């Protein structure tokens, strides 16, 4: 017993851990950030709970005005944000601006404008029948405190993708960004400073800090990350019946039809596969190319890949940087080696490709032909600069395999025939499907963001995403308060006749039968109402 007490005390007074800010282009530690303790997470959630009523009372317009100040703070700190994202992610500065800062701003700006109308109370269903005199409204109320847990690959954008709709819907938030990019977490904390205290708090740390946030508990969780962590969070949240938005990984498919514009398709597939060194949840991990155009598709794609420049942060012409975290580089190396051993043909890059020897987490962008059931990359998300091409007989085979051989967070179709492309798109199982493009949908804040099957559930972006963070409440009001209700006691004969007449009006196939029931209702309802106790 005494030993248990000492252990508990040791846990409380343990020194906080330091998180490492790491530059993957050089393999160098560039800073340290103090992690929060689980106790501090509890305090942050309590602070958020205290701030919640005041924030909700501002209404969507007031909250949108407050978030505009956050946008202006991003404007002031833009260079610093780009520099920190680029340093910790390894992505070129242009990528940090294009794919992190800009979509974060688009999300804020679009949802700020949308929130007041999307969250407006609406009157619904004035249908009367026996419910004469009842009027219904649907109100969208905040949950309270939303815990947001985000990954490292787009550390700024994805944090704003989670917190923006939650805040606009009237919740306060506690954000736990990834421990792999703690410097960006600090920059996010700084740009959130214009908000009232407790409205948006950043807590830093690894899985245990995320777990403490889920277990605080919060009133809703928005999780963006891997399927493995998502499953742990779903279990922990179930203990408190906390609802969760699950934005998980994918093995996105693209279908290149026999009539595709190959110049467009090769450029778009190249970008969709290698964006952010392939460390993109919606990166193409399977390209199904119709046999008749496959030779030409591969030739052009490999030729274009040769013109893509892989380089470090300081290289202003770099398109692709190194990978961001060592454990992901390990996964990619394992997947490519395994695929080659099992018969995949290397068209570019590959396990033996020459790479820089400067301590950075470099992996040469790789194109493979062939992807079979026995390969690791078939069962697991690769999440790296690897594009497997699969030749198919026709579009039908492509659709079937796109649906069967992995989870699509998003998917795409390339064809010159828009009607045919839309028809194919309608048969692909995915949260988002795009025709003649790939990946851009992540930044379309007016659309939807969320997957199917193993890539998660719940939606971000747009009106549906805003409403993920608001609980619909039905407020019904008796606007004829002096009239008693037909279904109240007693259940006398006139009551039963009246209710039966309503049921007949609803179910009768002919107007003559409906009319007869309506006459019965008129004759009995007043009598029934007079007798109500
Ligand atoms: P991850 O699951 O390892 O970590 C994500 C976050 O969860 C981190 O902040 C981490 O600290 C936290 N975490 C870890 N264990 C936890 C626990 N037990 N309880 C609570 N929080 C915990 O994912 P990652 O490696 O950071 O990111 C890559 C993954 O994210 C890929 O699978 C990628 O596809 C996915 N992703 C999905 C989307 C999307 O929108 N669907 C976007 C980006 C990335």
CA of 211 to the centre of ligand 1 (A): 12
Angle (deg, nearest 10), helices 102-118 and 155-168: 10
Ligand 1, atom 13: nearest CA belongs to which residue?
207
Q: How confident is the model at residue 203 (pLDDT cuts 50, 70, 90)?
A: very high
Answer yes or no: do 111 and 202 share one domain: yes
- Lowest-confidence pick of 9-18, 120-129, 424-433, 513-522: 9-18
Q: Is the CB of 51 under 6 A from ligand 1?
A: no
Same domain, 239 and 378: no
CA trace torsion 502, 504, 509, 514 (10° rounding):
-60
* 147 Cβ closer than 6 Å to some ligand 1 atom: no
Q: How far apart are alpha carbons 45 and 200 in whole angstroms?
A: 10
* Residues classed as catalytic: 247, 281
Considering the domain architecture, whether residues 85 and 212 belong to the same structural domain is answered as yes
pLDDT of 126 higher than 70: no
Q: Is residue 59 left, alpha or beta, with left meaning phi > 0 and alpha meaning psi from -120 to 50?
A: left
Q: Whose CA is nearest to atom 40 of ligand 1?
A: 247
Number of domain units in the chain: 3
Does residue 219 fall inside a structural domain?
Answer: yes
Give per-residue pLDDT as tens, 373-405.
999 999 999 999 999 999 999 999 999 999 999
According to the model, what pLDDT value does residue 249 have?
A: 95
Buried b (16+ CB within 10 A) or exposed e, 28-48: eeebebebbbbebbbebbebb
Cβ–ligand 1 distance for 198 under 6 Å, the answer no
Dihedral of alpha carbons 433, 437, 438, 441, sign: negative
Smallest CA-to-CA distance from 143 within 165, 123, 159 is with: 165
228 and 117 housed in the same domain: yes
What does the block give as tokens for 301?
A: 């794609």
Mean pLDDT of 220-244: 98
Report the alpha-carbon distance of residue 382 to residue 530 in Å, rounded: 72
CATH code (residue 368): 3.40.309.10
- Given this model, what pLDDT does residue 529 score? 94
Which residue is associated with the tokens 């110049």?
263
Residue 5 — very low, low, confident or very high, per pLDDT cuts 50/70/90? very low
Ligand 1 centre distance from Cα of residue 382 (Å): 14
In angstroms, the CA 5 to CA 67 distance is 46
Distance 225 CA to ligand 1 centre (A): 2
In a domain, 23, yes or no: no
> Looking at ligand 1, which atom is closest to the CA of residue 409?
41
Tell me: do 215 and 332 sit in the same domain.
no
Indicate whether 501 belongs to any domain: yes
pLDDT, average across residues 196-223: 98
Whether the predicted pLDDT of 328 surpasses 70: yes
The pLDDT of residue 16:
64
Q: How confident is the model over 118-136, as a mean pLDDT?
A: 80
CA-nearest residue, atom 43 of ligand 1: 281
Contact call for residues 366 and 336 (beta carbons, < 8 A): yes
* Helix (H), strand (E) at residue 79: helix 78-89
CB of residue 298 inside a 6 A radius of ligand 1: no
pLDDT tens per residue, range 466-485: 999 999 999 998 888 788 88
Ligand 1 centre to CA of 384 (Å) is 15
Which residues is 201 bridged to in the sheet?
174
DSSP codes, 301-341: HHHHHTTSPB--TT-TT-SB---S-HHHHHHHHHHHHHHHH
Measure 151 CA to ligand 1 centroid, in angstroms: 5
Q: Kindly report the average pLDDT of the chain as a whole number.
A: 94
Assess whether 60 and 185 both reside in one domain. yes
Q: Among residues of the chain, what percentage have pLDDT more than 70?
A: 96
Name the residue range of residue 517's domain.
484-530
Provide the sign of the torsion angle of the four alpha carbons 232, 237, 238, 239, taken in this order. positive
Q: Check pocket membership of 162 for ligand 1, CB cut-off 6 A.
A: no
Tokens found for residue 502: 């309503």
Q: Give all strands (DSSP E) within 393-522, no chain letters.
A: 410-414, 432-435, 456-457, 470-478
Q: DSSP letters of 216-261?
A: TT-SEEEEES-HHHHHHHHHHHHHHT--EEEE----EEEEE-TT--
| pLDDT for the residue 131 | 66
SS3 297: helix
Torsion of CA 68, 74, 76, 77, to 10 degrees: 160
Are 379 and 505 found together in one domain?
no
Ligand 1 neighbourhood includes 322 CB (under 6 angstroms): no
User: In this structure, is residue 380 part of a structural domain?
Assistant: yes
138 and 261 fall within a common domain:
no
User: Is the Cα dihedral 211, 215, 216, 221 positive or negative?
Assistant: positive
409 Cβ inside 6 Å of ligand 1 = yes
Length of the chain counted residue by residue: 533
Rounded CA-CA distance 368/344 in Å is 6
Residue 449 inside a domain? The answer is: no
Residue 368 lies in a domain: yes
Per-residue model confidence as pLDDT tens digits over 36-56: 999 999 999 999 999 999 999
- The answer on 391 and 244 residing in a single domain is no
Band of pLDDT at residue 2, cut at 50, 70 and 90:
very low
Q: What is the enclosing helix (H) or strand (E) of 29?
A: strand 28-34
Measured CA angle at 162 (ends 161, 165), to 5 deg: 85
Q: Which atom belonging to ligand 1 lies closest to the Cα atom of 232?
A: 18
User: What is the predicted pLDDT for the residue at 316?
Assistant: 85
- Is residue 458 domain-resident? no
What is the spatial distance between Cα 166 and Cα 164, in angstroms, rounded to a whole number?
5
Instruction: Give the closest residue to 280 by CA, choosing from 385, 161, 360.
Output: 385
**Surface-to-core class of residue 98, CB atoms within 10 Å of its CB (0-12 exposed, 13-18 middle, 19+ buried):** middle
Same domain, 134 and 56: yes
What is the whole-number distance in angstroms between the Cα of residue 176 and the centre of ligand 1?
11
Percent over 90 (pLDDT), the chain:
89
- 323: Cβ below 6 Å to ligand 1? no
Whether residue 251 has pLDDT greater than 60:
yes
Please check whether residues 399 and 269 belong to one and the same domain.
Answer: yes
CATH classification of the domain holding 108: 3.40.605.10
CB 66 within 8 A of CB 195: yes
For the Cβ of 443 lying below 6 angstroms from any atom of ligand 1, the answer is no
Residue 458 CB partners (closer than 8 Å, separation 6+): 222, 244, 245, 246, 247, 450, 468
- Say how far apart CA 175 and CA 202 lie, in whole Å: 5
Q: Is residue 410 part of a domain?
A: yes
Max distance between CA atoms of the chain, in angstroms, equals 93
Mean pLDDT of 321-339: 97
Distance of CA 226 from the midpoint of ligand 1 (Å): 4
What is the predicted pLDDT for the residue at 461? 97
Substitution candidate for ligand 1 out of 225, 232, 282 with most atoms within 8 A of CB: 225
Pocket test of ligand 1: the residue of 45, 99, 147, 151 to mutate, having most ligand atoms within 8 Å of its CB, is 151
pLDDT tens, residue by residue, 311-322:
988 888 999 999
Q: Say yes or no: 335 and 388 in one domain.
A: yes
Q: How far is CA 20 from CA 325, 342, 360, in A?
A: 12, 37, 16
Ligand 1 neighbour 216 (Cβ under 6 A): no
- For residue 313, the model assigns a pLDDT of 82
Q: State the residue for tokens 């996964």.
A: 331
Report whether residue 38 contacts ligand 1, using a CB cutoff of 6 Å.
no
**Model confidence at 181: pLDDT above 80:** yes
Query: What is the structure's pLDDT at 12?
Result: 47
Tell which atom from ligand 1 comes closest to the C-alpha of 456. Answer: 41
- Mean pLDDT on 48-65: 98
């Amino acid at each position: 017993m005494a030993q248990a007490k000492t252990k508990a005390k040791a846990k409380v007074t343990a020194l906080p851990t330091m998180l490492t800010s790491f530059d993957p282009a050089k393999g160098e530690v560039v800073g340290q950030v103090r992690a929060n303790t689980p106790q501090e997470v509890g305090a942050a959630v309590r602070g958020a709970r205290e701030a919640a009523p005041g924030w909700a009372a501002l209404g969507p317009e007031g909250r949108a005005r407050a978030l505009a100040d956050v946008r202006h703070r991003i404007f002031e700190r833009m260079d610093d944000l780009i520099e920190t994202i680029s340093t910790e992610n390894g992505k070129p500065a242009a990528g940090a601006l294009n794919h992190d800062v800009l979509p974060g701003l688009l999300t804020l700006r679009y949802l700020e404008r949308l929130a007041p109308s999307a969250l407006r109370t609406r009157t619904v269903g004035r249908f009367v029948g026996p419910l004469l005199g009842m009027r219904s409204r649907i109100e969208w109320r905040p949950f309270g405190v939303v815990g947001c847990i985000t990954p490292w690959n787009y550390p700024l954008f994805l944090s704003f993708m989670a917190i923006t709709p939650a805040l606009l819907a009237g919740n306060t938030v506690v954000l736990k960004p990834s421990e792999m990019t703690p410097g960006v977490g600090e920059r996010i904390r700084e740009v959130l400073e214009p908000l009232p205290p407790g409205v948006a708090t950043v807590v830093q740390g690894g899985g245990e800090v995320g777990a403490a946030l889920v277990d605080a508990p919060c009133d809703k969780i928005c999780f963006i990350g891997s399927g493995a962590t998502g499953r742990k969070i779903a279990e922990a949240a179930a203990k408190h019946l906390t609802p969760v938005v699950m934005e998980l990984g994918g093995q996105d498919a693209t279908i290149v039809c026999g009539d595709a514009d190959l110049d467009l398709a090769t450029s778009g597939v190249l970008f969709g596969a290698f964006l952010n060194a392939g460390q993109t949840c919606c990166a193409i991990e399977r390209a199904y190319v119709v046999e008749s155009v496959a030779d030409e598709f591969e030739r052009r794609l490999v030729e274009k890949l040769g013109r893509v420049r892989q380089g470090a942060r300081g290289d202003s012409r770099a398109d692709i940087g190194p990978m961001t975290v060592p454990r992901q580089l390990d996964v990619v190396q394992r997947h490519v080696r395994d695929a080659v051993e099992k018969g995949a043909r290397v068209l570019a890059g590959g396990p033996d490709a020459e790479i820089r020897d400067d301590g950075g987490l470099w992996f040469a962008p790789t194109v493979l032909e062939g992807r079979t059931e026995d390969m690791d990359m078939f069962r697991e998300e690769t999440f790296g600069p690897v594009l497997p091409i699969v030749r198919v007989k026709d579009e039908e085979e492509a659709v079937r395999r796109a649906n069967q051989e992995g989870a699509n967070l998003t998917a795409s179709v390339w064809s010159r025939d828009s009607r045919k492309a839309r028809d194919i798109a309608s048969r692909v199982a995915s949260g988002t499907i795009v025709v003649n493009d790939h990946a851009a949908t992540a930044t379309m804040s007016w659309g939807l963001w969320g997957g199917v099957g193993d890539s998660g559930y719940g939606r971000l972006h747009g009106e549906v995403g805003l409403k993920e963070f608001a609980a619909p409440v039905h407020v019904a009001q008796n606007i004829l308060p002096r009239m008693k209700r037909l279904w109240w006691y007693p259940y006398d004969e006139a009551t039963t006749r009246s209710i039966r007449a309503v049921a007949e009006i609803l179910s009768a196939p002919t107007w003559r039968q409906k009319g007869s029931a309506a006459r019965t209702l008129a004759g009995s309802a007043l009598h029934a109402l007079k007798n109500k106790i």
